[in-house]
Amino acid sequence: MKAIKLLSIVLVATIFVSCNKKAVTKDALKTEIDSVSYAIGMDVGRNVQMSFDEINNDLFMEGYLNTLDSADVLIDKTLAQGLVKSYFQKNREKIMKKQQEAAARKAEAEHAEGKLASETFLEENSTKEGVETTASGLQYIVLKEGEGEKPTATSRVKVHYHGTLIDGTVFDSSVDRGEPSTFGVGQVIKGWTEGLQLMNVGSKYKFFIPQDLAYGATPRGGKIKPFDALIFEVELLEIEE
């Protein structure tokens, strides 16, 4: 809340200046505090521009002055703090969404060829014998059917897996490491979360996971590129809890 209080002071200063603006020149910067004051004003301007798309100056000043004068205010103090906090939260989410959308557009432009290759592969793969496709687009083949229980989205499981790209490039494999992995069913990519719940303990499935059920436009580094479809052979060894 310190940042919000500081920003409130900043806004008062900005509004005050805008209502009483007088032209100044470099001659006004006579002392260090003069220069620092002007620099703070510049910083204030940048912060206000970044933090607010619009603001009602009259109501802002009324709320500020009512509080200073200990007058009756229109909004309870606690509620007011919540409103400000909620505004900044929504503003942050809006900015993050725009950044993510911009990143996705850039990734799609840069990786259009790979995205098309993955889509073409999955389209052709869906017609092959033994391949099942769920409503989400997840494709799978049953290599071995187990007889144990099925995990839920909140289960913790132990599995062996072997992950490749559509061209056969191995990017991760507990089989190659010789050690099973343990994790929560709901803590992995969507394709895994859905696929694991189809399996009984003791089963071994092969999953063909579309990019929107994997990492989508998000860069992963290493061998997985944005929009890559992923292939996993997964053996469900145990439900731990």
Report yes or no: 145 and 200 within 8 Å, Cβ to Cβ.
yes
pTM: 0.63
Q: How far apart are CA 138 and CA 126, in angstroms?
A: 10
- Tell me, yes or no, whether 75 and 116 share the same domain: no
Among 105, 135, 160, give the residue marking a domain's end. 105
Pair (136, 224) in one structural domain: yes
- 60 included as an active-site residue: no
Spot the catalytic one: 60, 121, 141, 172: 172
DSSP tag of 55? -
Q: With a cut of 80, say whether residue 5 has pLDDT above it.
A: no
> Exposure of 209 by Cβ count < 10 A (0-12 exposed, 13-18 middle, 19+ buried)?
buried
Residues 195 and 233 in one domain: yes
Q: From the candidates 88, 171, 183, 212, which is the catalytic residue?
A: 171
Is the model more confident about 25 or about 127? 127
Per annotation, catalytic residue among 60, 183, 189, 212: 189
Mean pLDDT of 47-68: 72
Place of tokens 């394709």: 191
Query: Could you read off the pLDDT of 204-227 as tens digits, one per residue?
Result: 999 999 999 999 988 787 899 999
What is the extent of the structural domain holding 59?
Answer: 2-105
Are 99 and 117 members of one domain? Answer: no
User: What pLDDT was estimated at residue 1?
Assistant: 47
Tally of domains in the chain: 2
pLDDT band at 145 (very low <50, low <70, confident <90, very high): very high
Question: Which of 89, 105, 121 represents a domain boundary (last residue)?
Answer: 105
In this structure, the answer to whether residues 63 and 159 fall within a common structural domain is no
Tell whether the model's pLDDT for residue 48 goes beyond 70: no
Question: 10 with 53, same domain?
Answer: yes
Q: Which of 105, 121, 153 corresponds to the end of one domain?
A: 105
Do the Cβ atoms of 230 and 218 come closer than 8 Å? Answer: no
For residue 52, indicate whether it is catalytic: no
Helix ranges (H only) for 111-189 are 112-125, 174-177
Report the distance separating Cα 138 and Cα 150, nearest Å.
Answer: 18
189 belongs to the catalytic site: yes
Same domain for 24 and 68? yes
Q: State residue 9's pLDDT score.
A: 53
If asked whether residues 88 and 119 sit together in one domain, one would say no
Distance CA 96, CA 91 (A): 9
Average pLDDT over residues 168-188: 96
Q: Please check whether residues 178 and 194 belong to one and the same domain.
A: yes
Read off the CATH number of the domain in which 124 is found.
3.10.50.40
Q: Identify whether 228 is a catalytic site residue.
A: no
Q: Are residues 46 and 97 in the same domain?
A: yes
Region 122-136: mean pLDDT is 97
User: Quick one: 117 and 217 in the same domain?
Assistant: yes
Whether 183 and 203 share a structural domain: yes
Helix residue ranges, H only, the chain: 2-19, 32-51, 57-68, 77-110, 112-125, 174-177, 190-196
